[in-house]
Amino acid sequence: MIKWLLLLLLPTLCGAETANVGSKRFTESYILGEILTQTARQAGEAEVTHRQGLGNTAIVFGALKNGAVDLYPEYTGTIAFELLGLKQSANLEELRQALAKDGLGVGVPLGFNNTYSLAMSGKRAQDLGISRISDLARHPELRFGLTQEFLSRKDGWPAVKAAYALPQAARGLDHGLAYDALSTGKIDVIDVYSTDAKIARYQVRLLEDDKQFFPAYDAVLLYRLDFPKRFPRTWAAIQSLEGRIDASRMAAMNAQVELAGKTFSEAAATFVSGQTPPNVDSRAGKSASRSFIAVLFGPDLGHLTLQHLALVLGSLGPAVAIGVPLGIVAARSRRASTAIMAIVGLMQTVPALALLAFLITLMGAIGTVPALVALFLYALLPIVRNTASGLADLPPPLQEAARVLGLPALSRLRRVELPLASRSILAGIKTSAVIAVGTATIAAFIGAGGYGERIVSGLAVNDTSMLLAGAIPAAALALAMQWAFDGLERLVVPEGLRLRPT
């Protein structure tokens, strides 16, 4: 197992030369990322990896700037307004000039425009007489469910709300869940992409942008300027994609995933191989061609399990090595205890995604390394707390007996105090291990792999089978961790201190 964990971590730790493709966390970006990856691999020049589902625009763009990814699909409107903070649309040459100072380039227009739009259920819109965005101002009772990114984008909800003087408030909702929430009447208005496959299936009405607020969102590639020099044949292959994907073809590939149950890789492979995607009945339910069992025990299960174990064990080891000594110091000094407990306790209050985003910026990297650091920080509190409390709660007569025997402080600690506190210390380590198994699923948002890849992909397309195929192995691994530590307790905890069954 150690050999496998080292092999898994070695490319990241050693900075092996590869071409890294990025993508965001929605269906179309996943597919385009796979198309880029498969096209690049056909050039046969470099090892190509797909860092898929890297959260929102800020995360994946940050990964591009610091070199963690080499290129990813983006949209001209997003580049102009969200990334560059421009006040108006810009052509490709203007975008190139603005990005060049950061060592970035933009090009290879893929051939389609995927603009934002606000949308309602067709029946609901008809009943209220709403066909334009400006009509929404007459209905303050409408409930808006918008994606988290759209809620905070410069070209998103705050600007739309101001431009159209809309009185409604909005709440955040994952894009993969929005259409179902709309169809069941839980919300009235959502934000959509014009190439969404579910527009026809759910009979959604796209509201006319009568003030022409939204700019063109032409699909292009953002890339590091050194990429064409490092991988000239790969770049030539990628350039061959220019103008080859129109809006209908992109919508058909989205439908293959969201309605027909194909994987992102399968949908992309159909395009790369030159095949015409089969028609998908937009009103049909998702195909049952992939059963839950087939997804659960898919070919990626072993690889994801090794990645998840690497994240858990790779963070737990350093946490034990540092947490136990910190706990000893906290048990010896009340002043030190206050400071140590405050610091490790503070780490637990930071939301996981916020901590990951901060570490990406701080370390200039995505993937395994920042994920390991985040999991290490989260693992400290139970270990430090249980070590300190286990030592502090030792019976005074036992401590006095050790002193009477004339044992030096270090020997008392090693031979008496730590063995007596071992059950409490091991319980803290076990708690950290189980927590780490669950928290490690979040690491998929920054390309660190593990079972979270399935959960993130399932959220993107609202695929319950995929969600469960990631959640169930994670739960099983957490149970296995607990049982493993129960067995370890029999080995390291003195027999007289073990919990006995009642």
**Average pLDDT of the chain to the nearest whole number:** 87
Decide the pairing of beta strands 204-206 and 116-121. antiparallel
pLDDT at 396 over 90: no
**497 confidence band (pLDDT: 50, 70, 90):** low
* Chain segment 122-180, per-residue pLDDT in tens: 999 999 999 999 999 999 999 999 998 899 888 899 999 999 999 999 999 888 789 98
CB-based contacts of 313, cutoff 8 Å, min separation 6: 5
Q: How much is the CA Rg of the chain, to the nearest whole Å?
A: 27
Give the closest residue to 471 by CA, choosing from 369, 390, 195, 463: 463
Cβ(188)–Cβ(112) under 8 Å? no
* CATH topology identical between 17-112+217-281 and 301-497: no
> Please, how many CA atoms are within 13 Å of residue 299, restricted to the half-sphere of its CB?
1
* 5 vs 37, more confident: 37
Residues 21 and 264: their CA atoms lie apart, in Å, by 14
Which residue bears the tokens 């390291």? 492
Torsional sign, CA 441, 446, 449, 453 = positive
Residues 282 and 203: their CA atoms lie apart, in Å, by 10
pLDDT at 285 over 70: no
pLDDT at 278 over 80: no
Average pLDDT, stretch 298-302?
89
pLDDT at 465 over 80: yes
* Chain segment 45-93, per-residue pLDDT in tens: 999 999 988 878 888 998 899 888 999 999 999 999 999 988 888 899 9
116-206 topology per CATH = D-Maltodextrin-Binding Protein; domain 2 (3.40.190)
pLDDT score of 476: 95
* 407 vs 308, more confident: 308
Q: 3-class SS at 354?
A: helix
In this structure, the number of other CB atoms found within 10 A of the CB of residue 143 comes to 16
Give the closest residue to 160 by CA, choosing from 219, 216, 210: 210
Cβ(241)–Cβ(42) under 8 Å? no
pLDDT score of 238: 97
**280 confidence band (pLDDT: 50, 70, 90):** low
* 408 vs 153, more confident: 153
pLDDT at 381 over 50: yes
pTM assigned to the model: 0.77
pLDDT score of 282: 53
pLDDT score of 406: 66
Average pLDDT, stretch 343-351?
89
* 154 vs 479, more confident: 479
* Chain segment 228-273, per-residue pLDDT in tens: 999 999 999 999 999 999 999 999 999 999 888 888 999 999 999 9
Average pLDDT, stretch 438-458?
87
* 409 vs 157, more confident: 157
Instruction: Tell me the domain boundaries of the chain.
Output: 17-112+217-281, 116-206, 301-497
Give one DSSP letter per residue of 366-384, joined into a string. Answer: -SHHHHHHHHHHHHHHHHH
Which listed CATH number (3.20.20.70, 1.10.3720.10, 3.40.50.300, 3.40.50.10860) goes with 301-497? 1.10.3720.10
CB-based contacts of 387, cutoff 8 Å, min separation 6: 323, 324, 326, 327, 328, 330, 331, 421, 424, 425, 428
pLDDT at 119 over 70: yes
pLDDT at 386 over 60: yes
pLDDT score of 12: 46
pLDDT at 310 over 90: yes
CATH architecture of 17-112+217-281: 3-Layer(aba) Sandwich (3.40)
pLDDT score of 308: 95
pLDDT score of 210: 94
